Amino acid sequence: MAEIQVKEGKAPFKISSIDEPCFTYYKIIGDISGSTPPVVVAHGGPGAGHEYLLTFADLWQKYGLPVVFYDQIGCGSSTHLPQKSGDQSFWQEQLFQDELDNLLDHLELRGGPGFHLLGQSWGGMLGAAFAARRPQGLRRLVLASALASKELATRGVQIWRDQMPPNMQHALDEAEQKGEYDSPAYKQALGFYNKKHVCRADPFPPRELLPALKHLTEDTTVYRTMNGPSPLTADGSLNNWTVISRLPQISAPTLVYNGEYDTSHDIAQVPFFELIPRVRWITFPDGGHMCHLEGGGRRERILKVVGEFLTQKE
């Protein structure tokens, strides 16, 4: 069993339109100075922080894979930029690509054994776009409950909404029409949706998810600007986002996975499977959007699938 080593730090991150010094917080599990490519983990939200993905820290103990977690700019322990709330021209994919580039350079992960990249949800959207550039050092890519385009994501969410009880569908529609998301009926409907499609852990929410919920509640800058006022209402800077045309450019072997009841519906995975040249797609039975936090053996199965994919011979 690999010895547990933990290192935390901050990578200075220069943003041309921001006068103040900015930084990206990171946490390393294991030894990144060896001959094994570390796994860089990009979280979702946007704005959820890294903690809900700490399940993947076990890749170090079980497979000898060092893991690098980080909080994207604007959330968690990285620099917050509340003055940029609502600025959709600022909160764009390119900002987060630049940040990831900066982190890789700061940790000197381009050379030697290189690195793997695992992106969950929005982190997978970012990961697919990043991998399409064929960055130096990228060995393998994992797209965990990611989305090939926001349009397909919206269609997938609508499929799940149409299966909800009629009174809950009405509550969601009414909230969106009025722009009011605080009614008990809306909160009940959203809670139903979250337990069925976001994270099917019992009890809900699992303790590992609490930090992400805290981040998203205490500073809404990134999530509100990029996604919208509600998980089911999208009007942010990602609204017309797509990576579909770029997918054929991904040269790294890629693992795509989602859950059977995932908010990242199968229709949002199909372009990954059809257009990435070297790809494998797995849908985990009975899983939700965060099936790495769920019971029923899903957490263990995901770690096994990801660990074996990242350590298999070329």
**Catalytic residue ranges:** 121, 262, 289
Query: Is residue 190 a part of any domain in this protein?
Result: no
Mean pLDDT by runs of 10 across the 314 residues of the chain is: 81 95 98 96 98 98 97 98 97 98 98 97 98 98 98 96 96 91 94 97 95 97 95 92 98 98 98 98 98 97 98 88
Count other C-beta atoms under 10 Å from residue 137's C-beta.
17
Query: Is residue 49 a part of any domain in this protein?
Result: yes
Query: Is residue 174 a part of any domain in this protein?
Result: no
Query: Is residue 135 a part of any domain in this protein?
Result: yes
What CATH number does residue 134 fall under?
3.40.50.1820
pLDDT at 32: 96
196 phi, psi to nearest 5 deg: -90, -35
Give me the domain span that covers residue 102: 6-153+236-311
Secondary structure element (H or E) that encloses residue 97, with its range: helix 93-106
Query: Is residue 115 a part of any domain in this protein?
Result: yes
pLDDT at 3: 58
Query: Is residue 196 a part of any domain in this protein?
Result: no
pLDDT at 285: 98
Query: Is residue 279 a part of any domain in this protein?
Result: yes
Query: Is residue 201 a part of any domain in this protein?
Result: no
Give the total number of structural domains in the chain.
1
